[in-house]
Structure 1
Amino acid sequence: MLVEEIMKKEVITLTKTATIAEALKLLHENRIRHIPIVDDNYYVIGIVSDRDVRDASPSILNQDADQSELENEIQSIMTQDVITVHPLDFVEEIARVFYDEEFACLPVVRENKLVGMITEKDMLHTFIQLTGTNLQSSQIEIKVPHKPGILPEVAAIFGARKTNITSVLIYPYNDDPNFKILVFRIQTMNPMPVVQDLREAGYDLMWPNNIVGPKV
């Protein structure tokens, strides 16, 4: 899946000479957490977060606070070294950037111009869709040898039952390079017939691992 498929294309921006008060108003009115700062060519030159604005604003608990601070230009508090991504980047690879850098959002640029924004919430929603957990389904986890052809071999058992597979995930089994875990989500609320078929075929089920149903 590509970034352009999940990014927000309508992005609220400010110029570097906008005031902190303007940023505060935009953040509250639009219920957003970040605002990219752009120049006249729509190049990203900075970014501010709700935390940046909050830290630069006078405390609401101090009635004598100097409100003139809100008239300072946003360039005085913006982060200038902005990491950006491209619309054709893979979402799975961008997830690593979010994790490693602990970012909450990333501007999306094409030919250096801002074309969208992607947030950690967008990423989480996407992975929910990719794993199929947003649909009514059942999950089956199978420990299999790490060898070529094992995935279609196991999938054939689901096919024999005419069971629709919503998603498939593959991840390592502990630290053993000889095995993998296949995670299938299937569109049925009664997975037991397939579970029994898998057991009879000799596969090691991790989930469900303690339920035995009648052969159907």
Structure 2
Amino acid sequence: MLVEEIMKTNVIALPPTATIERALHLLHEHHIRHIPIVNEQNQVIGIVSDRDVRDASPSILNTGTSSRELEHEIQTIMSQPVITIHPLDFVEEIAKVFYEEEIACLPVIRQNQLVGIVTEKDMLYTMIQLTGTHVQSSHIEVKVPHRPGILPEVTSIFSKRKTNIISVLVYPFKDDPDYKILVFRIQTMNPLPVIEDLREAGYELLWPNNLEGPKQ
């Protein structure tokens, strides 16, 4: 899946000379948490979060604080340089960027101009879609040898039962390089026949590991 498939294109942005008060208003009005700061060529030069604006705003507990702080330009509190991504980047790869950089949003640029934005909430929703957890399904985990051709061997068992596979994930098995875990979500509320078929084929089920299939 590509970034362009999940990014928001109606991005709320501000010039560096906009006031902190203006940013505060936009954050509340549009229920967003980040505002990219762009120059006259629509190039991203900074980014401001709701926390940045909150920290720069006068405290309601301090009656002696002047509201002039909100009149300061947004460039005085923006973060820079900004990590950006491209519309043709893979979603699975930018998930690693979110994790490693510990950030909550990534502006999307094409030809050095802002064209979209992806937030951590967008990423979580996309992961839900990719793993198939948004639809009714059954979850099966199978421990298999780590060798070529093992995936089609296992999926052929589902095929015999005409069971629709919603998603497949592959995980390492602990620290053992000789095995891996195949995680299936299948479109059935009764996985018992498939479970029995997998066991009869000699595969070890990690989940469910306590359900018995129908007796023949």
Could you state the TM-score of these two structures normalised by the residue count of structure 2? 0.99
State the distance in 2 between where 1:97 and 1:215 align.
49
Q: CA deviation at 1:63?
A: 1.9
* Contiguous gaps of at least 5 residues in structure 2: none
Tell whether the 8 Å contact from 1:193 to 1:215 is kept in structure 2 after alignment: no
State the distance in 1 between where 2:80 and 2:66 align.
26
- For residues 98-132 of structure 1, the C-alpha deviation after alignment (integer angstroms, 9 at most, x for no partner) is 00000100000000000000000000000000000
- For residues 129-188 of structure 1, the C-alpha deviation after alignment (integer angstroms, 9 at most, x for no partner) is 000000000000000000000000000000000000000000100000000000000000
State the distance in 2 between where 1:105 and 1:119 align.
4
With 198-207 and 60-69 compared, the bigger mean Cα shift is at 60-69
Cα RMSD (Å) of the superposition?
0.7
Match of 1:183 in 2: 183
Tell whether the 8 Å contact from 1:84 to 1:107 is kept in structure 2 after alignment: yes
Q: CA deviation at 1:61?
A: 1.4
Match of 1:96 in 2: 96
Match of 2:9 in 1: 9
> Aligned runs of 1:127-142 on 2, under 5 Å?
127-142=127-142
Tell whether the 8 Å contact from 1:144 to 1:182 is kept in structure 2 after alignment: yes
Match of 1:196 in 2: 196
Q: CA deviation at 1:9?
A: 0.5
- For residues 13-59 of structure 1, the C-alpha deviation after alignment (integer angstroms, 9 at most, x for no partner) is 00000000000000011110000000111000110000000000000
Match of 1:108 in 2: 108
Q: CA deviation at 1:215?
A: 3.8
Give the percent of matched residue pairs that are identical in Structure 1 and Structure 2: 73
2:44 is the alignment partner of 1:44: yes
Tell whether the 8 Å contact from 1:85 to 1:106 is kept in structure 2 after alignment: yes
State the distance in 1 between where 2:180 and 2:77 align.
48
Q: CA deviation at 1:213?
A: 2.6
Match of 1:74 in 2: 74
Secondary structure at the aligned position of 2:172 is classed as: strand
Secondary structure at the aligned position of 1:4 is classed as: helix
State the distance in 2 between where 1:64 and 1:134 align.
51
State the distance in 2 between where 1:174 and 1:190 align.
29
State the distance in 2 between where 1:185 and 1:159 align.
14
* Structure 1 counterpart of 2:96, one-letter code: R
State the distance in 2 between where 1:189 and 1:164 align.
12
Q: CA deviation at 1:62?
A: 1.6
State the distance in 1 between where 2:215 and 2:179 align.
28
* Pairs aligned (count): 216
Q: CA deviation at 1:210?
A: 1.0
Match of 1:22 in 2: 22
Q: CA deviation at 1:65?
A: 1.2
Match of 1:158 in 2: 158
